Homo-oligomer: A and B are copies of this chain.
């Protein structure tokens, strides 16, 4: 099994209370791919500019990540700049230079088309469908989106959602998409749009998943030092879908473990700038923190 991921590959300039990183590797597809590749082969679809060089590409080296679908165009790579508040709970976007990403048209190499899983990162919902149209009927389609598309292209987004098995959004996005403040009501409305499984990410407050089997809540791992939250949601998605792609069955047991695996990967990601912590992460460390999640949440029945 393998995953096609489409999304941004970017330069991030990030300022947190603990430091600043200039033009480091970022983008949803970057975080997703590195996280998911701990579990399965990842076929990346994206675009970079001529300023994206060997140094940046080296982050993907020696991992099960195919870059055949990573186009290189003349021009500059997508650049996002943001600054976090003192408590890391909010951030201001200082600039978003789409650059070559603005006219991005995902093209899947022949070798990608039979992948079993797809992750549609946060891009125009029309393009998300075009990716699916180039695939040979993936078994599981997971999808992210954001307020820009929810308010800007609601009808196109709804068409895409009809083809989605798992939607991963944050709580604000779930509320905006559904028009419901209460997350239980929001989940019911969103699941009626198509995705049988809805994963709502709440940052430091963890994740709640709504599926055919009801709801599953997982906390975020209580970390003493959160360094940079950028990419945590995409890393979560990579751990989630990467883990799901290791099994034949997508049942509730697998979905719940996938949520915890996503939370596990995300808990490492925020410990350093960019993908730095993920690059030096090992599988034993992952398994150990997954085990700590069990200790963190377990209680005995009455």
Contacts and interface: CB of A to CB of B under 8 A. Distances in A.
Interface stretch (A25-33, A76-84, A201-209): A201-209
A104 B183 CA distance: 42
A225 interface: yes
A277 interface: no
Given A217-B222, A222-B215, A86 B302 contact: no
Given A219-B206, A222-B215, A297 B294 contact: no
A181 B87 contact: yes
Contacts of A287: 302
Given A183-B222, A219-B219, A222-B184, A260 B299 contact: yes
Contact of A182 (B202, B225, B259, B299): B225
B226 A182 contact: yes
B86 A299 contact: no
B217 A219 contact: yes
A250 interface: no
B260 A224 contact: no
Interface string A257-277: 101100000000000000000
Interface residues of A, number: 39
A224 B181 CA distance: 10
B257 A217 contact: no
A287 B301 CA distance: 10
Interface string A268-302: 00000000000000000001001100111111111
Kindly report how many copies of this chain are found in the complex they form together.
Answer: 2
A297 B300 contact: no
A225 to B, nearest CB: 7
B216 A299 contact: yes
Nearest to A298: B256
Interface string A84-103: 00110000000000000000
Contacts of A222: 183-184, 208, 215, 217
A136 B11 CA distance: 65
Interface of A: 86-87, 181-185, 202, 205-206, 208, 214-219, 222-226, 253, 256-257, 259-260, 287, 290-291, 294-302
